Amino acid sequence: MAAALLDRHAVPQLRLALLELFAGRFPAAARHITADGWDELDRLAALHRLQPLLHQSHRSNSAVPEAVRERWREAFRLSSLRALALAGDLERSVALLEARGFEPIALKGAWLAWHAYPHPGLRPMRDIDLLLTPDTVIPAHRLLQDHGYEPLGAAEFSPEDSVKLDKHMPPLLSPHGTAVEVHHRLWEIDGRMDHSAPGANEAELRARARRDGGIVYLAPADLLAHLIIHAVYDHRLDCGPLVLSDIAYLLGATEIDWDAFWAAAALQGWDRGAQLVLALVQDHARDLDIPVPVGLPSLPPEHLSLSADLLLQELDTRRSAGFVAALKVGGITAMLSRAFARREHKGHAPVARNLNAEGGFLSWARGRLARTLWDLSHSAVRRQSRNLAQLSQWLDGNMR
């Protein structure tokens, strides 16, 4: 029997094919992708910043349509140019802050692009993330604004509430056009997500940070922990498959003390998330040897499958899916917190977002309700919400 053709409507199958292509393999299913199916696959690749790495792996693969390969080549070229601009803005931003006595630590892609990947253009960056401390982040944020860094949109919280409830201050745009986020935490506070947030001793993380080429970065094991927690706990995998190549290249460039890593994961409560993400990494890069503690419960196969699907989830429907996921996991209280645009820290009174820039609460709520109802009329979004809820429940240990 001939294999069915994969057109633009066969999204689950196209996602699986894209993950295989991203891993450097060419699956048999890819031979049955139609022209519009390749366009849909490429749209997903662009959405999740995968095109440069696809260019690296498949630039000579004639089984991939020439027009698609050309788009991947152009994406790599533009990403390479963008990397040069970001490198300059990173150096300028760090120098400005350090000259005034601040101690910024550059996060994630800032080290990975130039020290782990074979070429910085293979690791597209949307912005620059700099970690300060809760007591220095407000003056650091103001210093950047005093030097021409402009707010990107209206602030939803006061600076003081941002420090209390968020992990970073409102993003800024540098004079050279780069988005800059000044963080005061590495990951979300407990109460922000539908599942519990991991603990951390950030003072120890800062103490272990090291200078490399004039910029201070997290130590490799701490960067690995940050990538995992950011992907699965903060973002429920909507950061995309790039986290898999981030970790694969990180592990190829550094040595990790795995005993210490897993001990920290168990102590701080993110060992399940680490197990899940590292299993996905190992499937992506099968030559990696990643040890897992003997006592860690086995990973349910269905969670690997739903997590792979979430890695390529649609970003413009994640809020709608998140509303339903919040109801499934946290009940009506969690759903109402989202519905009324509240943010909270466990043990503290919730704070409502400032929605004046969106016409006030009633205007925002009407628009959000209409969008959510429309999105949930699609089976793909309902599946997205089920997957999000299952992931949150499993991370909290409520599913065996």
* Per-residue model confidence (pLDDT) at position 400: 40
Concatenated DSSP letters of 204-230: HHHHH-EEETTEEE--HHHHHHHHHHI
Give the model's confidence band at 235: pLDDT under 50 very low, under 70 low, under 90 confident, else very high. confident
Mean pLDDT of 218-229: 94
For 284-336, the pLDDT digits (tens) are 888 898 999 888 888 888 888 888 888 898 877 777 776 666 666 665 555 54
For 78-128, the pLDDT digits (tens) are 999 999 999 999 999 999 999 999 999 999 999 999 999 999 999 999 999
* Per-residue model confidence (pLDDT) at position 178: 95
pTM of the model: 0.87
Residue type, 292: V
* Per-residue model confidence (pLDDT) at position 161: 78
Does residue 351 carry a pLDDT above 90?
A: no
Mean pLDDT of 40-50: 96
Instruction: Find the DSSP H helices in the chain.
Output: 11-22, 35-47, 51-58, 66-99, 109-115, 137-146, 159-165, 202-208, 220-229, 242-253, 258-268, 271-284, 301-311, 318-339, 360-375, 379-395
Those residues whose C-beta lies under 8 Å from the C-beta of residue 328, and which sit 6 or more positions away, are 385, 386, 389, 393
SS3 annotation, 9-25: CCHHHHHHHHHHHHCCC
Does residue 361 carry a pLDDT above 70?
A: no
| Chain position carrying tokens 């070429």 | 119
Closest CA relative to residue 37, chosen from 79, 75, 7, 3: 7
* Per-residue model confidence (pLDDT) at position 343: 53
> Which region among 137-146, 181-190, 258-267, 318-327 has the lowest average model confidence (pLDDT)?
318-327
> Which region among 64-78, 113-127, 235-249, 331-345 has the lowest average model confidence (pLDDT)?
331-345
Give the model's confidence band at 359: pLDDT under 50 very low, under 70 low, under 90 confident, else very high. low
Mean pLDDT of 228-246: 90
* Per-residue model confidence (pLDDT) at position 341: 45
Rounded to 5 degrees, φ, ψ at 182 are -100, 110
For 127-163, the pLDDT digits (tens) are 999 999 999 999 999 999 999 999 987 776 778 877 8
* Per-residue model confidence (pLDDT) at position 325: 67
